[in-house]
Amino acid sequence: MSASELTAAQRAPVYLHDYRAPAWSVRNVALEFDLDAAQTEVLAELELQQDPAQADAALFLHGEALELLEISLDGCELSPADYQLDANGLTVPHARGNVRLRTRVRIAPELNTALQGLYLSGSHEAGFLLTQCEAEGFRRITFFTDRPDVLARYSVMLRADRARYPVLLANGNPDGAGELPDGRHWARWLDPHPKPSYLFALVAGKLEHIEDHYRTSEGRDVCLRIYAEANAIAQCDHAMRSLKHSMRWDEEKFGRAYDLDVFNIVATHDFTMGAMENKGLNIFNAKYLLANMQTSTDADFAHVEAVVAHEYFHNWTGNRVTCRDWFQLSLKEGLTVYREQEFCADMGSRSLKRIEDVQTLWRAQFAEDAGPLAHAVRPEHYLEINNFYTATIYEKGAEIVRMLAVALGRDGFRRGMDLYFARHDGQAATVEDFLAALGDANKTDLSNYLSWYRQAGTPRLSANGRYDAATRTYHLQLSQQVASILLAADNSPLPIPVALSLYLPNGDAVPLRLAGEVAASGIERVFVLDRDSMTLVFEDVFAPPVPSLLRGYSAPVLPQFDVSADDLALLLRADSDGCNRWMAAQALMTRLFDADVNDATTLVAMNDGLAAAMDDATLDPALLAQLLSLPADSILAERLAEIDPDVVHARIGALEKNIAMVLHARVLARYDALSADETGAVEARAPARRRLKNRCLDLLCSRNDAAGIVRALNQFENARCMTDSLAALVCLVRAGGEPAEHALAAFHARHADDALVLDKWFAVQAARPHADTLDTVQALTERADFRWNNPNKVYALFMTLARNLHAFHRADGAGYAYFGACVQRLDAINPQVAARLAASFKEWRRYEPHRRALMQSELQRLIELPTLSPDLRDILQRALA
């Protein structure tokens, strides 16, 4: 019986404390692929080595959905009595010591809609073959010890029909190619760097490429290629530029040079995630690789730069130093996100990048951490690892690295990273190894940061200040409250680096001298709160100061600061840290949301502060756009004891209309000036101006005023770039009616051949704030250009729908029922996609009783389905627990 005939067993949880070193390792692996979309054969020769300390351990290799055609051990063919096959893999009980195992299996790429393992991208006639192995996809290609702490050297032989599959790529360096009879050809690839199986990749098909070269600081000439289908190849230049910038930056900032002769990137439209860092052969969702002013927004350009950098940086943080087990996922992901964030900050505006990253953290991670899917950055157990590619592992993980970097300072952090690479190059490491290297290099003990990796939930940081005029001292008490003791593996106090300044009413910052210190040292300092509470006493403070806390958002905590609206207005006006100016504006808006705009003092403070910002000609237009933006709906919704989408919507509307009204003249003038200057260019400052211009347009349209709609129509008709065209379309669709219909039709006609632009077209409609949007989405799924098996299309419609207060959260429950039915349908196609969508229900307990009951019953209906993927089951179980 083949493993594919067995039904998948229900998963047992995996525990961190059960970790054992591998009983069997693979030194070398030789793979031979006879590639074909319908049937591919994979021959694998593994040089296996048993750990002498585990001499009794049977040889077990993971394998799923593989048809075993041939198996031999040390040259002797095995009979079925010599091995056991089940849904999880292959056991060869009598193997001992050093052995050579040879297996030949058959797989069916074109039937693989889960997009894990080897699959087909595009059409059956003209598509290409590619792989996705992280986290556990390699076991769908061949039998293997598919765990990240088994590092092997790979040699890969690819054979295929030359006409259908002219390009044959795998990891490492090319090692020969040639012709075969019957129109077939071969190519061999050799990867000299031992790697875990999740980094394996191959690509075969009809692809074009662009090429460039890069000379590393070590003198290696690297051939860089980006592969894409013919109609997209003209859109790869921005990615190539970003790649070269990333390579230079990693040498300059971390001393890390590239280590192969070639670096290949391939774009696909069929990908569940953003991109994948396979050694020497990165594979990208086309959405994060292709960019062109006519079809991509400024935000798309920024995403491409960030994701190219992210995958490239993995070459050291992830590939050269990998993870011992999947519990350590944030060791590579948090660290690589941090590196990516720093790179983007260096390429553009540091404070703006920080604001964007904080926005993402607050919107995605805080919500995750507050609900039933909350988990530690290093979890203690999991059912399905695919469900742990989360905002907590990525974004909160990056925040922990940032805290360490803030606490150690630039040079100390670099020393620590140097030691981390020196100690662990070529190894599979742990979070403890990381903290030890950073600490040892700086002769300090950072093990208390482990609590950040072990505790789920967002801690609160409170601050209370008291000024003593007689002694001219300012007493600042900082204290922390652990968020969710229930979930914490330990609940010891966390080390929280607090970067702070003190501002005098005239806007000057106070030189900071603590009681007992001889002299002041600077106007910004970092204090690490590593107890429940501490009080800092500052001397020589000549007037009651306003504290500017968590500058640059120095720790991922929920601020609960005892500061007045006027204090916030001062920070909004005068803080030298752009991120803190923005946080002050957000705090004012949040207070107004809480008070349903009925708080005169706060209203005046916010309105005056924003007006002053608009009048400040020196302010970066992109920062101004951020100051003028409300916190995300989901963040504001969290403020309510019980979420009622109608209340959220009404309060946000009132707040937005107040800003639009109070600033109307300024917004109009600014929009017209920026609009007259628009060139549609890529140059560095243009995106910032467009961002402000389009936020102004948004405000002008918020009350459906003719002045706004006319401008939106005009901008839509005359747009020189996608940023402007899409921003106008969003405003028109929100207003609805004939202009919206007309614009949607025109946009579709203009971009009918471009899958990525069509995703935007789908998403804009799914975002329309109206209960009827549900019917629109339903109708859109019937179109020929919607594909259920394409994750980008599915996310464009359904991720957007899930964030739509009006449609998803319709009071009649139709949104939940429809969404649930779609999740069910998708589970049979791509379980990872279904599980990601199902996580949209995670906040169900926070809603008012009526909607809460509706969401719960939909979750309950789903969990009782007779067939459910392990991925979806895991999410549903945790959501309902």
278/800 with CB nearer Zn ion:
278
Choose between 331 and 623: whose C-beta lies nearer to Zn ion. Answer: 331
Closer of 137 and 547 to Zn ion (Cβ): 137
Measured in residues, the chain has a length of 881
Distance CA(501)–CA(522), nearest Å, equals: 9
Largest Cα separation within the chain, whole Å, is 95
Total residues in contact with ligand 0A1, by rule CB under 6 A:
13
For ligand 0A1, the closer of residues 765 and 830 by Cβ is: 830
- Least separation in angstroms between residue 867's CB and ligand 0A1 is 21
The packing angle between helices 831-838 and 870-880, to 10°, is: 10
Pairing mode, strands 496-503 and 546-548: antiparallel
- Binding residue for ligand 0A1, selected from 83, 389, 819, 847, defined by CB under 6 A: 389
Question: CA-CA distance, 394 to 70, in Å (whole number)?
Answer: 41
Minimum distance, C-beta of residue 332 to ligand 0A1, in the bound complex (Å) = 8
The residue (of 570 and 834) whose beta carbon lies closer to ligand 0A1 is: 834
Q: Choose between 424 and 651: whose C-beta lies nearer to Zn ion.
A: 424
Classify burial at 516, counting beta carbons within 10 Å of its beta carbon; exposed 0-12, middle 13-18, buried 19 or more: exposed
Smallest distance, Zn ion to C-beta of residue 322, A: 12
By the rule CB under 6 A, 333 interacts with ligand 0A1: yes
Report what 804 binds from ligand 0A1, Zn ion, none; CB cut-off 5-8 Å by kind: none
Residues with Cβ within 8 Å of residue 822, at least 6 apart in sequence: 781, 798, 837
CA dist 302 → 291, 348, 796, 879 (Å): 10, 10, 19, 33
Q: From CA 768, how far away is CA 800, in angstroms rounded?
A: 10
Alpha-carbon torsion (13, 17, 21, 26), positive or negative: positive
CA distance 64 to 731: 48
Q: Which is nearer to ligand 0A1, 276 or 622 (CB)?
A: 276
Distance CA 356, CA 350 (A): 10
According to CB under 6 A, which residues from 628 to 667 bind ligand 0A1?
none
The answer to whether 696 and 667 are in contact (CB under 8 A) is yes
Question: Which one of residues 122, 174, 274, 813 is an interface residue with ligand 0A1 (CB under 6 A)?
Answer: 274
Query: Residues 154, 155, 160, 165: is their CA dihedral positive or negative?
Result: positive
Q: Which of 36, 134, 305, 567 binds ligand 0A1 (CB under 6 A)?
A: 134
Which SS3 state, helix, strand or coil, does residue 303 take? helix
119 vs 538 by CB, closer to ligand 0A1: 119
Min separation Cβ 832 and ligand 0A1, Å: 6
As a whole number of angstroms, the distance between CA 108 and CA 393 comes to: 33
Identified binder of ligand 0A1 from the candidate list 36, 64, 250, 277, rule CB under 6 A: 277
In whole angstroms, how close is the CB of 425 to Zn ion at the nearest point? 19
Give min distance, CB of 738 to ligand 0A1, in A.
42
Q: Which does 276 bind (CB under 5 to 8 A by kind): ligand 0A1, Zn ion, none?
A: ligand 0A1
CB of residue 379 to ligand 0A1, shortest distance in Å: 16
Q: Which residue is nearest to ligand 0A1 (CB)?
A: 273
> Is residue 417 a contact partner of residue 166, using CB atoms and an 8 Å limit?
no
Q: How far is the CB of 271 from ligand 0A1 (least distance, A)?
A: 7
Taking CB under 6 A as the criterion, the residue among 85, 118, 266, 276 binding ligand 0A1 is 276
By the rule CB under 6 A, 362 interacts with ligand 0A1: no
Shortest distance in whole angstroms from residue 109 CB to ligand 0A1 = 16
Phi, psi of 203 (to 5 degrees): -140, 135
Measure the CA–CA gap between 306 and 212, rounded to whole angstroms. 20
For ligand 0A1, the closer of residues 274 and 412 by Cβ is 274
Which option in Zn ion, ligand 0A1, none does residue 134 bind, with CB closer than 5 to 8 A by kind? ligand 0A1
Candidate segments 49-57, 242-250, 274-282, 567-575, binder of ligand 0A1 by CB under 6 A: 274-282
29 binds, among Zn ion, ligand 0A1, none (CB under 5 to 8 A by kind): none
The nearest distance, CB 276 to ligand 0A1, in angstroms, is: 4
Strand blocks (E) in 12-122: 14-15, 24-34, 40-50, 59-62, 67-73, 76-77, 84-86, 89-92, 98-107, 117-121
- In three-state secondary structure terms, 479 is strand
Instruction: Please list, residue by residue across 713-726, b when 16 or more beta carbons sit within 10 angstroms of its beta carbon and e when fewer do.
Output: bebbeebebbbbbb
Residue 683: partners with Cβ closer than 8 Å, 6 or more residues away: none
Q: Is 132 in the site for ligand 0A1 (CB under 6 A)?
A: yes
Please give the Cα distance from 402 to 350 (Å, whole number).
14
Rg of the chain taking only CA atoms, in angstroms: 28
Ranges of H-type helices in 79-186: none
Residue of 311, 399, 638, 858 with catalytic role: 311
For residue 415, what are the β-bridge partners? none
- Is 311 marked active-site? yes
Nearest to 808 by CA among 781, 779, 832, 844: 844
Residues pairing with 497 in the sheet: 528
Cα separation values, 405 from 336, 400, 435, 831, 878, Å: 13, 9, 11, 37, 34
Number of Cβ atoms within 10 Å of the Cβ of 257: 17
565 interacts with ligand 0A1 by CB under 6 A: no
Q: Does 341 bind ligand 0A1 (CB under 6 A)?
A: no
Q: Give least dist CB 377 to ligand 0A1, A.
A: 15
| Least Cβ distance, residue 662 to ligand 0A1 (angstroms) | 43
Instruction: Render 322-340 in DSSP notation, one character per residue.
Output: EESSGGGHHHHHHHHHHHH
Contact between 765 and ligand 0A1 (CB under 6 A)?
no
Closer to ligand 0A1 by CB, 310 or 320: give it.
310
Pick the closer one to ligand 0A1 by CB: 64 or 698.
64
Closer CB to ligand 0A1, residue 132 or residue 264?
132
**Residues numbered 786-845 forming contacts with ligand 0A1, rule: CB under 6 A:** 832
Q: Are 130 and 121 in contact (CB under 8 A)?
A: yes
Q: 309 or 546: whose CB is closer to ligand 0A1?
A: 309
Sheet holding 67-73, edge to edge: 76-77, 67-73, 98-107, 40-50, 24-34, 152-161, 184-195, 173-179
Q: Among residues 50, 272, 295, 840, which is the contact residue for ligand 0A1, using CB under 6 A?
A: 272
* Partner whose binding site includes residue 575, from Zn ion, ligand 0A1, none (CB under 5 to 8 Å by kind): none
Residue 627 interacts with which of Zn ion, ligand 0A1, none, CB < 5 to 8 Å by class: none
- Least distance from C-beta 289 to Zn ion, angstroms? 15
Binding residues (CB under 5 A) for Zn ion: these are 333, 336
> Which of ligand 0A1, Zn ion, none binds 780 (CB below 5-8 Å, type-dependent)?
none
Binds ligand 0A1 (CB under 6 A): choice among 107, 228, 275, 355? 275
When CB distances are held under 5 to 8 angstroms depending on the partner's kind, the choice from ligand 0A1, Zn ion, none that residue 389 binds is ligand 0A1
Site string for ligand 0A1, 494-523 (x = CB under 6 A): ------------------------------
**Contact stretch for ligand 0A1 (CB under 6 A) within 212-220, 267-275, 443-451, 669-677:** 267-275
- The answer to whether residue 739 forms part of the interface with ligand 0A1 (CB under 6 A) is no
For residue 65, give the DSSP letter: S
Q: Which of 107, 141, 228, 273 binds ligand 0A1 (CB under 6 A)?
A: 273
Asked if 595 contacts 605 with a C-beta cutoff of 8 angstroms, the reply is no
Q: Footprint of ligand 0A1 on this chain (CB under 6 A)?
A: 132, 134, 272-277, 310-311, 333, 389, 832
User: Which sequence positions are flagged as catalytic?
Assistant: 311
